[in-house]
Amino acid sequence: LCSLFAKENLHHMSEHQLNLYDRLINEPSNDWDIYYWATETKPTPVEFESEVMAKLRDFTRNKNREQRLRQPDLEYLFEPP
């Protein structure tokens, strides 16, 4: 989920948003917590509630009903934005 979100969003984010994303994916001790927050199964703790978390929740809702069955290839990291 986070890798697909990253591919679609990181190149549009400000430095502040990138720092928030970095904190979100690195500070929680359990990756499942991020999943539960993104899917709104559990409430997001105040310290991780941010505009980036809101974007991740919106992405997780998958309004366009895209198939997201595998992680993206890493080649996108080397393409110009």
Rg (CA), the chain: 13
Instruction: Evaluate the CA torsion angle 25, 35, 46, 52 in order and state its sign.
Output: positive
CB-based contacts of 25: which residues, under 8 Å, 6+ apart? 2, 34
What domains are there in the chain, each with its CATH number? 1-77 (1.10.150)
- pLDDT by residue (tens digit) across 7-45? 899 999 999 999 999 999 999 999 999 999 999 999 999
6-24: b (≥16 Cβ within 10 Å) or e = beebeeebeeebeebbeeb
2: DSSP letter: H
Q: What is the pLDDT of residues 51-73, one digit of tens each?
A: 999 999 999 998 888 877 777 77
